[in-house]
Structure 1
């Protein structure tokens, strides 16, 4: 039986407070018990790095790792860096199945959030 892990792939920031909102979202996902293992891996500036977070998943017995990029756009990190990191991980852990999901910005729900925020910002009453 596969033991699935969710790995949230985040850019990271040198400002510690910048990651607080992301951690709130990740903690809510953890509470939903969709994945027995949930980790965050940072591309830059913070720990654990994505390779370190992958190792943490494997140490906890993950046989499948689903990476979800916590990114809004398909820039170089989403298009090249993250797939490369997953390819390297696949070579390092051939017994683990890796899947890279779509980045958050591909969700149509973000259109609704943007529209809502625009309306909120326009309310000057």
Structure 2
């Protein structure tokens, strides 16, 4: 039995160069799991779209698919855009079994990736002293995700023995400039930003500019490709693929099988 296709689902960018990290993630996952169909689909801004990817897989005879959202702020619920896309492709291909995995979410292991990227940034910028941190994400997540992000910030602060403020770039909470101002009001002067982003899209670029304008010493690169992220993607895929084993057979396939049995 062929394993379900793994569709990495992400927000795109109007600038193709900014999606290079996501394409690299797909390549590395395909290299790690050559037995799987691993493809990348975007929810907005650039091709290939989710419906286009599904149509291409169907044309190749694929009948089972798992979407894995590359979203590190939602822990349980996918955003509305992803839900609507899934509804559309299910309606267009009722013969295909497909499901949406849990988002990557703010997993504890991502703090290790954040540390790697921040150390790289500090070294490049010759920063030798820090007295505060900002954990910056593109957007707030679901209720569980937001609670976990707050916990991750506390864990990161405790690990480095530095105060840490969470910032969201979508306006749903404290922005990065306000987070920096809050720390400066506490007397902190050597502040660095850890970027809780998968890729360097427009949101990341804008956040970085605001943080540097606020006078931070360093802004880490996006988390990008890392073994922890590949492992997390695979874990979400495997759990969701198991659900397909218990799912009802698509109506058209069930009808075909009944016909053969007669």
Q: Indicate whether the TM-score tops 0.5.
A: yes
Q: Report what 2:229 is aligned to.
A: none
Gapped regions of structure 1 (runs ≥ 5): none
Q: Report what 2:53 is aligned to.
A: 53
Distance in 1 separating the partners of 2:121 and 2:36: 39
Distance in 1 separating the partners of 2:99 and 2:42: 17
Q: Are the aligned partners of 1:7 and 1:38 in contact in 2 as well (CA < 8 Å)?
A: yes
Distance in 1 separating the partners of 2:111 and 2:34: 25
Shift of 1:111: 2.0
| 1:38-117 correspondence to structure 2 within 5 Å | 38-74=38-74, 78-117=78-117
Higher RCO (C-alpha under 8 Å, 6+ residues apart): 1
Distance in 2 separating the partners of 1:30 and 1:7: 11
Distance in 1 separating the partners of 2:72 and 2:60: 29
Gapped regions of structure 2 (runs ≥ 5): 129-262
Which of the pair has more CA radius of gyration?
2
Q: Report what 1:11 is aligned to.
A: 11
Shift of 1:114: 1.8
CA change 1:13–1:97 in 2 (3 A) is same
Distance in 2 separating the partners of 1:35 and 1:82: 26
The runs of at least 4 consecutive aligned structure 1 residues that moved more than 6 Å come to none
Question: TM-score, normalization: structure 1?
Answer: 0.82
Question: TM-score, normalization: structure 2?
Answer: 0.42
Q: Are the aligned partners of 1:37 and 1:60 in contact in 2 as well (CA < 8 Å)?
A: no
